[in-house]
């Protein structure tokens, strides 16, 4: 019985990074689309990022040990920042590339 519990714990610990990675990829794609819809990055994007980070800093789950909550909050905040930075960089590089293509003499 102990082996089953340990195997289950190991599986659940190994799935967390996969879940976070999938979540960040979805967030990244959604942010890039949002930037496109809003016509580019502007002050609204910085404000939106600040609001998301502020919301993520609040306790994430009831019944979680304080040390785990601190670690989980740190990871979630860090990953959200990475998603926002990545979306900004992807949009900027695609926009710059597209602008250069339009300006190239034919």
Name the more confident of 84 and 67.
Answer: 84
pLDDT of residue 51: 92
Considering the domain boundaries, does residue 71 fall inside one? yes
Considering the domain boundaries, does residue 4 fall inside one? no
| C-alpha span between 50 and 44 (Å, rounded) | 10
Considering the domain boundaries, does residue 61 fall inside one? yes
Considering the domain boundaries, does residue 8 fall inside one? no
Q: What is the mean pLDDT of residues 68-78?
A: 82
Considering the domain boundaries, does residue 15 fall inside one? no
Question: Domain range spanning residue 37?
Answer: 24-103
Q: Residue 69 pLDDT > 90, yes or no?
A: no
| C-alpha span between 12 and 9 (Å, rounded) | 5
Tally of domains in the chain: 1
Considering the domain boundaries, does residue 9 fall inside one? no
Q: What is the mean pLDDT of residues 54-63?
A: 72
């Amino acid at each position: 019985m102990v082996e089953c519990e340990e195997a289950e714990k190991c599986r659940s610990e190994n799935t967390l990074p996969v879940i976070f990675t999938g979540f960040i990829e979805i967030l990244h794609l959604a942010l890039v689309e949002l930037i496109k819809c809003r016509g580019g990055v502007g002050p609204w994007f910085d404000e939106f990022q600040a609001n998301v980070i502020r919301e993520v800093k609040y306790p994430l789950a009831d019944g979680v040990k304080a040390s785990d909550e601190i670690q989980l909050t740190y990871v979630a905040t860090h990953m959200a920042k990475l998603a926002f930075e990545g979306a900004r960089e992807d949009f900027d590089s695609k926009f710059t590339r597209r602008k250069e293509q339009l300006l190239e003499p034919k």
